[in-house]
Amino acid sequence: MMAVNHFQLQIESYARWKEGLISAIQDLQAWLDTQDLENEGENSLRIFESIEALKKDRLNIAFVAEFSRGKTELINAIFFSDFKRRLLPSEAGRTTMCPTELFYDHEASGPYLRLLPIETRLEDASIQEYKQEPIQWTQINLQMDSPADMEKALREIVQTREVSIKQADRLGLYNAELYPHLASNDPETTLIEIPKWRHALISFPHPLLKQGLVILDTPGLNALGSEPELTLNMLPAAHATFFILAADTGVTHSDLDIWQYHIHRNKRKQDKGTAVILNKIDTLWDELKDERQIKESIQEQVRKTSSILGIGQQNIFTVSAQKGLLARISQDEALLSRSELPRLENYLANSILPIRENLLRESIQSDLGGILEEHIGLVQSRLLAVHQQLHQIRNLNGKNANAIEGLILKTREEQTVYTRHVEAFNSSKRLLQRQVIELKKALDLRKIDSLIEDTRKSMAGSWTTQGLKKAMKTLFDRIQDMTIQGTDSSETLQQLNQAVYRKFHKELGLPEMKPRVFRVQQYLEQLNNLYEEAEQYRNSPVMTMSEQNFVIKRFFIQLVSQGRNILYKANEDLDRWIKEALQPLAKQIQERRKSMEQRLATLRKIHDSRDSLEGKISELESEYSKLKATLDKLTGIRQRLNQDIPSVSE
């Protein structure tokens, strides 16, 4: 019996974990629906968005390599060996020509292949924008009951066409260095081969894809360099990136260019989420060598690769995708083990999924943690107040009227102190709002729009590559200045907010609460990363060799619009944060006021009629019991939201 694909089992467990999160969030919503809340609409919207995000959650894995490294064969071996054939065209001479995304479209009526014509590169719209317009794509419906027809349809991905050098140049697909023998020929009549399609989308009902796996299959260096959206958007969005090399050749010059320009910088010089795969180790299975010598040869390639790329050997995997696929199809356990495919699959299950789990948990905590903790805090506060009131009333047994009057007087004094605290709270709130204004100045969208327009004019008026680079650098230097100002203002804002919470915990005796954090750092980090990408793009070979108008378009479509979107989201989140930052504290203060009023009313009632004492004790005991059950329910929901993915035994 063949070994089970551990990654498939773990991703199924991951899907069940998400279902558990959705169930817990729905239980939170059901409880909130029973409460009379002022901001019920906002909470319901946030909960709805969180559930939808979980349902649409995707695990994105990017496979990147130069041509003929066996990248597509590896995808077939890991994900589609159950079909007993190559789902994606990967035999010799049929290499991926355009970026291809494999996923499952839950809203489609059936599986399909959608292809975006290469001519769309002449337009300003991005691939992401085109995804919202299916009419712009050529669609081929996939016949699941006919493997031969399906295989034929998917071959369309690798199709090419011949165009003149002039047309290829207009499309940003001509690099004179790649065609030195054509450099002196007539660009109007000389033809070169280019991909027929710009991007491919495959919706396929594979179990892993149905559960949210998305695979990005990218072509070689030339396509990566000429389609900045891949490098700037799609690769950074991947939760895992597999960089595939050939074990027999090691790291070639073009491999190194891909690594330096398109992968390593996207991961910010961290190995996390990035794996290097030395494929085709079967080419080193020399029949004239014994097993020990073969292993030494493979390990030597691992050491060289680690040294050249600057990545730890633990993140380099040796594999034979072709033999692994063959082993799975032929049910050959020994060959599967020798292909080392299971080791790579275990890495996917044990290292990549936990990364996505942590990101998802952080997102849920950011969106819903405040709502849940706020209500847990309120219930705890009410529980404490009822407990204290019960203790106080029970002690009134046998006390005279003067003792009760003394408690009434003491409660009124507490109300006077409380009023002063409310005034201090309002003062703190105004101070916080002033600091928010300072942060918004640093992240002002009007400022960035003005910078963008100035840079656009400067670039359009420049006749030299050096002039274009200078305009780009000026823009991103200014953006980096904004991030530095934003960092300083954000730190002051967070410190001020924490100080307010500490003050009222200490002086008013409110439960200790963690204030909601405005995570501006994530946006500032994105802007700083974008600055690095801009520098990389400015100095990349494609920038120097591309036609000027093409460079300007691609720069603004990808880099500049991305920077503006980051600032827009930061401003949106800041506006939401200022509305909610002191909300838990405000509710606790309001709860304290209500508690004092209730205590005062109870004491007056007991003062007027001692017969009401036992009835009030019974009423408070019942309320305490209900509050305790509510607290248990909410802490149970919190525990479910914090649960880990159940592990699957290997």
pLDDT tens, position by position, 438-453: 777 777 778 878 887 8
The contacts of residue 590 (CB under 8 Å, 6+ apart) are none
Which of 116-130, 382-396, 497-511 bottoms out in mean pLDDT, i.e. has the lowest?
A: 497-511
Contact 490, 524 (CB under 8 A): yes
pLDDT of the residue at 269 = 43
Cα four-point dihedral sign 150, 155, 157, 159: negative
Give the pLDDT score at 643: 84
222-275 pLDDT, tens digit each: 666 667 677 767 887 888 889 999 988 889 888 888 888 778 755 544 445 788
What are 97's two structure tokens?
Answer: 């020509």
Q: Which range has the worst mean pLDDT, 516-520, 523-527, 533-537, 588-592?
A: 533-537
pLDDT value at residue 303: 93
Range of lowest pLDDT (108-122, 487-501, 549-563): 549-563
SS3 call for 66: coil
Q: How far apart are CA 222 and CA 540, in angstroms?
A: 12
Q: Is the pTM of this model over 0.85?
A: no
Q: Is the pLDDT of residue 139 over 90?
A: yes
Q: 302: pLDDT confidence band, cut at 50, 70 and 90? A: very high
pLDDT band of 418, cuts 50, 70, 90: confident
CA angle in degrees (0–180, nearest 5) for 258-259-265 = 115
pLDDT band at 177 (very low <50, low <70, confident <90, very high): low
Tokens of 15: 């899907």
- 3-state SS class at 153: helix
Give 37's pLDDT tier (boundaries 50, 70, 90): low
Q: Tell me the per-residue pLDDT of 585-619, one tens digit each, with 9 for 90 and over.
A: 777 777 777 777 777 877 777 766 655 677 778 88
- pLDDT of 634 reads 92
Mean pLDDT of the 443-468 span = 75
Per-residue CA distances from 154 to 258, 276, 615 (Å): 26, 27, 78
Residue 103: predicted pLDDT: 92
**What is the overall mean pLDDT for the chain?**
79
The total of other beta-carbon atoms located within 10 Å of residue 529's CB is 16
Q: What is the mean pLDDT of residues 292-321?
A: 90
